[in-house]
Chains A and B, each alone.
Chain A
């Protein structure tokens, strides 16, 4: 398969499109142990010096396994949690240092959709009320609010009658549509989608992914798509960033990342995807040996070194910097090598 970014018929992300979101050197540590005086003595490094840019109208995905910090990253961007260091520019405006009032205005333009549609909707509120809650900042009159609620329910392909129902009356897929409708209510430009289809069955998952695709086209939305599911990420993304224990280890155009992964972790991750084919057709996989490094007080070294199959001496003593390997393709590794048979994308 060709590695050029033009291969897909996916919505083309125009390389010249201006950046909508610029994340620079974002870090977050959580205290895990304190001394007698309550001073932290031990830290969990959840997000460590992460930088990336998302252009207007594109889908940028963050993939990684449990605990890699991808959800925390989403929370830091819209200031659900305060970051320790770094900056976030949304359409040129600083998010992390803005006043409460200004933050409120910015948050209307950037919305978050959570993974679990079973716990993210208030069970005591009807769907109509859940959706209109998302627009209270718009200060619409009651009639306009009702009209807007109808509008967004229509956008997510839910009949008007659903406005009068409670979440428990809905299926998982319908609930996730309600969560998306709530996010769309304030007419945002940017959605952070945190594992939006992980809790859904495969046939429902494809409906929601199609809906997200259509909405992006209709409303010119920009997505930050957070997921552990590589097949879904490959389907929906324009560009992809791979996270490992708080570090963004590789960033590239979708086709380049899946066709020509450079970081050993990305290569191992891709080789572990179960492919939809019978077992005797499977290729060799890279098996990761060893235990993952603890994210608590990580030493100054490559965080993947303990499981890496291409580790060299330097990896144990220095943190590999993120470097441009070729245009639009960054990786943080001292021992970059092209993929072998086992690691090349399918």
Chain B
């Protein structure tokens, strides 16, 4: 297996949703690629379309009322073109997803062991005993003490960090090629968060799994991802290696987000009483600006930004940008 083989290639992914207030497009022309064994961070604020993108990849969007176009290629197969029966065999063994809230994603009436072994037996022909052995093994790998006893526990008997570990164990038990982690640590305390991020990175290194890490937290993404894609109002506005994220972001939105984080100023030695603010608010999907979607909030907006839609273009090695008037970054 080569390190830079592309595992997932998303091309011009667009999601249309019919809501009570009319049709909206929460994901608009998103293109991303993910190499084997790579962690790609997908960041943005509430409602920017990052979770919708993940659900579209998994084909888990609500069936009536949503329409997905574009292509999602996993190796040589276009997932959007697969019959549902085949797609069901992709979810689990090929792509697994973990969600933000571990309490609502685990079934409260079944033991941890039952949920793990059922997942295995649904996809593989294996006996109860072997399934149990493998369940113990995976719980051990995600760092759960006394795994054999824990198999008999119900979700409510576990702490938040333990539950998220169990979620990860269930997601990993079929050894997927791709893990989609949607805000996997947002509900957790900071010391537990550090453990979970280390665990994800460790599993990636050992099993060569790829990870799409969705988060609103730039610092979390910076900690484990190799590349990052920033979304705003349904579009990817910038992608770059994380080494550039904190020193050379080019998009005014990325720059603004970084300056909003309390603490960045500390690292440059100064303590500011006031934090940076991005003026205005995220546009409503039903009422998007005509060209660049960030223009109404952008300090550098020009006439062109209101008239002509910028495209995602290559500006440096591995750095792509959707902006007519990028400025150098100063923290």
Chain A interface (Cβ < 8 Å from any Cβ of B): 1, 7-11, 65-66, 171-173, 201-207, 209-210, 213, 228, 230-232, 234-236, 258, 268-269, 272-280, 282, 285, 287-288, 291-292, 345-346
Given contacts A66-B160, A203-B45, A282-B223, contact A272 B190 (CB under 8 A): yes
A176 CA to B109 CA in the complex, in Å? 37
B266 adjacent to chain A (CB < 8 Å): yes
Chain B interface (Cβ < 8 Å from any Cβ of A): 45-46, 145, 159-160, 189-191, 193-195, 197-198, 216-220, 222-226, 241-246, 256-258, 260-264, 266-267, 269-278, 281
A-chain residues with CB within 8 Å of residue B245 when the two chains form the complex: 278
Given contacts A205-B260, A206-B275, list 5 more A-B pairs with CB under 8 A: A204-B281, A232-B262, A234-B262, A277-B222, A346-B267
Kindly count the residue-residue contacts between A and B in the assembled complex, taking CB atoms under 8 Å apart. 132
Contact A9 B271 (CB under 8 A): yes
Interface centre among B198, B267, B271 (most CB of A within 10 A): B271
Residue of A nearest to B160 (CB): A66
B-chain residues with CB within 8 Å of residue A291 when the two chains form the complex: 145, 159
User: What are 22 inter-chain pairs, A to B, with CB distance below 8 A?
Assistant: A202-B257, A203-B260, A204-B281, A206-B262, A209-B262, A209-B275, A210-B274, A213-B274, A258-B266, A272-B193, A274-B194, A274-B222, A276-B263, A276-B267, A277-B219, A278-B222, A278-B243, A278-B245, A279-B226, A285-B194, A291-B159, A346-B266
**Shortest Cβ distance from B295 into chain A, in angstroms?**
16
Contact A279 B223 (CB under 8 A): yes
**Shortest Cβ distance from B186 into chain A, in angstroms?**
11
A-chain residues with CB within 8 Å of residue B256 when the two chains form the complex: 203
B-chain residues with CB within 8 Å of residue A236 when the two chains form the complex: 262
Given contacts A65-B190, A203-B257, A206-B262, contact A10 B273 (CB under 8 A): yes
A-chain residues with CB within 8 Å of residue B218 when the two chains form the complex: 202, 276
A336 CA to B198 CA in the complex, in Å? 28
Contact B45 A280 (CB under 8 A): no
Residue of A nearest to B275 (CB): A206
A9 CA to B272 CA in the complex, in Å? 6
A-chain residues with CB within 8 Å of residue B271 when the two chains form the complex: 7-10, 235
A65 CA to B276 CA in the complex, in Å? 27
B-chain residues with CB within 8 Å of residue A213 when the two chains form the complex: 273-274
Pick the contact of A276: B46, B193, B194, B222 (CB < 8 A): B222
**Shortest Cβ distance from B264 into chain A, in angstroms?**
6
**Shortest Cβ distance from B85 into chain A, in angstroms?**
39
